[in-house]
Homo-oligomer: A and B are copies of this chain.
């Protein structure tokens, strides 16, 4: 790895005496925990949340002078997103998916698209930071607004050749466009595999699992009530927001608050999304009218990411062992795929509120490293308003799907999705841009301006004392 801590600063030198004892504090037994607070890591992953998606949400929510909670973390870096080719793992692709990038964040190793903590080409299981934390006696948790079996949470606690192996029923079905080396059958228990993602999660021993995807767990055994399946693995099953907020026991928690992904917080007025350009009889572009965002009535009764994060932090901190917690804002990405700027903005707001909960926690438990990042880029772009296209004359208009949002401060903002011409039902695609990294609790270390996603894994392991040597 290239010089993780970059140019040495004078303050680094002056403070080096302080660094040595701190480096030993992580993973301590409870006796020494009295002297040094336990080391905690909270990794926030905004799925698809590149700088462009952040800017468009901030503009809508807070106007041109706003600052999100995540942007108030003291240190910023940017992470390269690296993806190996399954057919030749010495070569790279320049657009990733959530599976390979979450796998890199989780394991510190690069891999190919679709893979869940397994290696490109040869399908080795790659150990994760969550597993290492658990082995060291730390508490662990995964919180997401998607299915718990979705790629991002899955990559921290399970190992499969492909993200689609979510429940046992998935394992035999051939996956159409996926290479033979990534079909799910090899992961089936009958083939000596570890089983589907849902099965592996239940066996993972992760202390707190909160999200959606009830149907994936139900399919493990349709004859047995889900409570019983959960209990047989030591989990208390929670299925209602009220139960979650009222829970104060200390059993391992499996919270499943929707059949699939959790409903998103916001929708567009009249359910509007970005739309393809319409044309009048003269063939002239007719630009879409502006709209605002509103609450999604379907979200009512669903716990927010903020609420799930708060419960997870309480449960994990109670153990006083130190912990690793991953919190995913999953539907920033999913709503961008669907060209739904209001969905994206509402989910980014929900994610940012969860980050604020993490910051408040870290202000009390100071040995907490917070990293906020994304896994890969998304399609949304802020582009000019209709009046601008019209001022240039002729047939000038955005070639993709376009929305004009009226922001909270009453201004207009043009948003475009233009990575896929396919009409409805098909989705926009990821982009290959670097993703932002915000850090707090990194101490006196310098994080270089450009890192890669492996470095994020190393920073987390270091903070938890899970690696022996210096980088």
Interface residues of A (CB under 8 A from B): 2, 6-7, 9-12, 14-15, 50-52, 54-56, 59, 63-65, 67-68, 71-78, 80, 82-83, 91-95, 177, 277, 377, 379, 381-385, 388-389, 391-400, 409-414, 416, 418-422, 426, 429-434, 436, 438, 444, 446, 448-450, 452
Contact = CB atoms under 8 A, between A and B. Distances in A.
Contacts of A398: 418-421
A414 B449 contact: no
Contact of A74 (B7, B65, B399, B400): B7
A450 B400 contact: no
What 3 pairs between A and B have smallest CB-CB spacing? A11-B11, A382-B432, A418-B418
B78 A76 contact: yes
* Majority DSSP secondary structure for residues of A touching B: loop
Contacts of A14: 11, 14-15
A418 B400 contact: yes
A6 B105 CA distance: 28
Given A56-B432, A438-B449, A449-B75, A395 B421 contact: yes
A65 B416 CA distance: 30
28 contacts: A10-B444, A51-B51, A52-B431, A59-B432, A64-B82, A65-B82, A65-B452, A72-B448, A72-B450, A76-B76, A76-B77, A78-B436, A94-B414, A95-B385, A177-B392, A177-B393, A381-B381, A382-B433, A383-B432, A394-B426, A396-B422, A396-B426, A398-B419, A398-B420, A399-B418, A399-B419, A416-B419, A418-B418
A6 B377 CA distance: 28
Nearest to A285: B421
Contacts of A65: 80, 82, 452
B10 A15 contact: yes
A78 B438 CA distance: 11
Contacts of A392: 177, 426
Nearest to A430: B384
Contacts of A381: 377, 379, 381, 419, 431-433
Contacts of A92: 63-64, 409, 411
Nearest to A67: B450
Contacts of A51: 50-51, 78, 433-434
A382 B95 contact: yes
B72 A449 contact: yes
A445 to B, nearest CB: 11
**This protein's copies in its complex:** 2
A432 B413 contact: yes
A56 B382 CA distance: 19
B420 A418 contact: no
Given A64-B83, A92-B411, 4 more contacts: A56-B432, A64-B82, A382-B431, A399-B421
Contacts of A385: 93, 95
Contacts of A382: 94-95, 377, 431-433
A80 B64 contact: yes
Nearest to A431: B381
A115 to B, nearest CB: 16
A76 B426 contact: no
A177 to B, nearest CB: 4
Contacts of A94: 59, 64, 382, 411-414
B449 A421 contact: no
Contacts of A448: 71-72, 74
A69 to B, nearest CB: 11
Nearest to A401: B399
Nearest to A439: B449
Contacts of A438: 449
A29 to B, nearest CB: 27
Contacts of A83: 64
Given A411-B92, A421-B397, A432-B59, A76 B416 contact: no
Contacts of A429: 383-384, 388
A363 to B, nearest CB: 11
Contacts of A78: 51, 71, 76, 436
